[in-house]
Amino acid sequence: MTEMTLVQAVNRGLHEAMKGDPDVLVLGEDVGVDGGVFRATEGLIKEFGPDRVIDTPLSECGIVGTAIGMALYGLKPVAEIQFLDFIYPAFDQIVSELAKFRFRSGGQYPCHVVVRAPYGGGIKGGLYHSQSTEAYFCHTAGLKVAIPSTPADAKGLLLSAIHDEDPVIFLEPKRIYRAVSGEVPDGDHRVPFGSARTVVPGDDVSIFAYGAMVPVATEAAEALRGEGISAEVVDLRTLVPLDEATVLASVEKTGRAVVVHEAARFCGFGAELSAILAEKAFYSLKAPIARVTGFDTPFPYALENVYLPNAARVAHAARATVRSG
């Protein structure tokens, strides 16, 4: 076990995957000599060389399209998009090509591609460097979507993603790249997809979160504990596939649910999670499902801390949910 930050764990995961499998390579803007805008690929080019750590032109469409071609010939490319906000020039390549190759080929072409991208607010990036649009990719059949919240999960989920037969959108919460640290298992540590993690057990209300919102939800649960409210915090870890069993079991126990994400509220992932709970756990619910999210506006710069959910907002929603039911 080694203590490291989340971004260091991403780097370690990439290093170990490349060391263990010569078919794994990294490509993207500034991933080589500069080590990436957040230094997630720092040092990789020195060990593996420019043939496996490829600095590309500024063309997201080209990056993902090239990765698809590589994968169809048996390689396992990890394509980095500098910010999730910049991914849209590659959107057609992702949703129309990457997501469909395994299906359209009857499984002959698994298309091992991981698309990594830092996402979310918290770094004063303004409206073009702070978006959380994970729901776009969750809506696309054929893609898997993983979002870690701890260094151990960053490495473990990334290694699982690289070796998965389906393409994976791997979103990294840049707000906590260096704000959280923890013990990370050495070696080929993999976290299985579709396996949520109960961060804090509780009996009165379930709080579901992912990415940078997990520490926020945990802080809210600690505050609620001082008021005599036992809040359970569940880190979803992968949105697709979703661990429905853990989600439903939690709500069946507590009878109440609060869903937290920093993406805009309308059609955000919380809407799908709420629908699942309404369909499959309706008779267990003692109160309406609450959502604590970003707002339905472009991401602001000056009002970033107002836009982002915080522990006070989450605690207020959980408190109201408990008292209403």
Q: Which of 184, 212, 246 is the last residue of a domain?
A: 184
pLDDT at 325: 64
The stretch 194-210 carries a mean pLDDT of 98
Mean pLDDT of all residues in 165-182: 96
Residues 210 and 295 in one domain: yes
Q: 143 and 53, same structural domain?
A: yes
Tokens of 239: 């949105």
- pLDDT value at position 148? 98
Query: Domain range holding 295?
Result: 197-324
Residues 203 and 178 in one domain: no
Task: Among 184, 211, 246, identify where a domain stops.
Answer: 184
Q: What is the pLDDT of residues 238-290, one digit of tens each?
A: 999 999 999 999 999 999 999 999 999 999 999 999 999 999 999 999 999 99
Q: How confident is the model at residue 324 (pLDDT cuts 50, 70, 90)?
A: confident
Residues identified as active-site: 129
For the cut 90, the answer to whether the pLDDT of residue 110 exceeds it is: no
The residue-averaged pLDDT of 138-164 equals 98
Question: Please, which residues bridge with residue 170 across strands?
Answer: 116, 146
269 in any annotated domain = yes
CA-CA-CA-CA dihedral for 81, 82, 83, 86, to nearest 10: -60
pLDDT band at 68; cut points 50, 70, 90: very high
Task: Confirm whether 174 is domain-assigned.
Answer: yes
Q: Is 171 inside a domain boundary?
A: yes
Residue 118 domain-assigned (yes or no): yes
Domain harbouring 229, CATH code = 3.40.50.920
Q: Are strands 290-294 and 257-264 parallel, antiparallel or unpaired?
A: parallel
289 & 159 share domain: no
Residue 107's pLDDT is: 87
Instruction: Tell me if 237 sits within 8 A of 153, measured CB to CB.
Output: yes
* Number of domains present in the structure of the chain: 2
For residue 1, what pLDDT is reported? 87
- Taking residues 202-216, what's their average pLDDT? 98
pLDDT for 21: 97
The whole-angstrom separation of Cα 20 and Cα 234 is: 32
The answer on 201 and 104 residing in a single domain is: no
* Domain-located, residue 119: yes
CATH number, domain of 153, equals 3.40.50.970
Please provide the average confidence, as pLDDT, over all residues in the chain: 96
- Both 78 and 17 in one domain: the answer is yes
Both tokens assigned to 119 = 């996402």
The mean pLDDT of 127-154, rounded to a whole number, is 97
- In a domain? residue 320: yes
Asked if the model's pLDDT at residue 24 lies above 70, the reply is yes
Residues 9 and 138 occupy one common structural domain: yes
What pLDDT shows up at residue 108? 86
Residues 222 and 315 placed together within one structural domain of the fold = yes
In a domain, 190, yes or no: no
Domain end: 184, 218, 241, which one? 184
Q: Is residue 192 part of a domain?
A: no
Determine the Cα–Cα distance for residues 313 and 317; give it in Å rounded to an integer: 6
Both 117 and 180 in one domain: the answer is yes
Q: Do 164 and 238 belong together in one domain?
A: no
- 131 and 59 belong to one structural domain: yes
Q: What is the pLDDT of residue 90?
A: 98
